Amino acid sequence: MLKNRGPIFLTGLTAILSGMFLYLFYGIPESHTGSSQPIPFSHRVHAGVKAIACEFCHPYVRRSVHPGIPPVEKCLYCHNYIIAGHPWIQKEHDYYNSGMPIPWKKVFYIPEHVVFNHERHIKKEVECRACHGRVETMDRLLRKRFKMGFCIECHKDKQVNIDCWLACHN
């Protein structure tokens, strides 16, 4: 009996470790790392922990084709006071002083011939997460290229005009 303890312990340990690996690998896909950005801005910290409203930073999402990405002035509105000495905040000042916008990498794409407008969706209370995932849990947003099937599935579900494919393609 006692002789088997070692192997049994090792087998158990291996099982637990591979279970953990599989969980981390497949279980929580939204924690996979997204594209790196010029400043490691975190939606988890801002929209999650600090609960800043999406529309504070993306104010035009209800009324324009472009939701808006906040200019560095808006970051400094808080960061002139909050963790002002942090090296990444110093980098914000460098961008501000040079007059160069922060070159954020775009992460969500739709095929070029598709016309997409947020307005209609937000007015019908389709949540941000239905398309963008749980942004408030992510440090870096995951790259995603929307496919037609994804759009059509929900439109069928909600019985929205499927003629959309006449309305969407220009």
Per-residue x/- track, 27-46, ligand HEC (CB under 6 A): ----------x-xxxxx-xx
Residue 3 is a binding residue for ligand HEC (CB under 6 A): no
Q: Which residues, 6 or more positions from 107, have their beta carbon under 8 angstroms from its beta carbon?
A: 34, 35, 141, 142, 143, 144
**In angstroms, what is the minimal distance from the CB of 68 to ligand HEC?**
7
CA distance 41 to 45: 8
Instruction: Closer to ligand HEC by CB, 8 or 53: give it.
Output: 53
Query: In the set 1, 21, 96, 109, which binds ligand HEC (CB under 6 A)?
Result: 109
**Binding string to ligand HEC for residues 134 to 163, with x set by CB under 6 A, is what?**
-xx----x----x---xx--xx--x-xx--
User: Which of 78, 93, 96, 142 touches ligand HEC (CB under 6 A)?
Assistant: 78
From candidates 59, 74, 93, 96, binder to ligand HEC by CB under 6 A:
74
**CA 153 – CA 75 distance, rounded (Å):** 37
Please, what is the end-to-end C-alpha distance for the chain in angstroms?
A: 75
| Closer of 5 and 124 to ligand HEC (Cβ) | 124
- Are 115 and 170 in contact by the 8 Å Cβ rule? The answer is yes
> Burial level of 146, CB count in 10 A (0-12/13-18/19+)?
middle
Residue 95 interacting with ligand HEC (CB under 6 A):
no
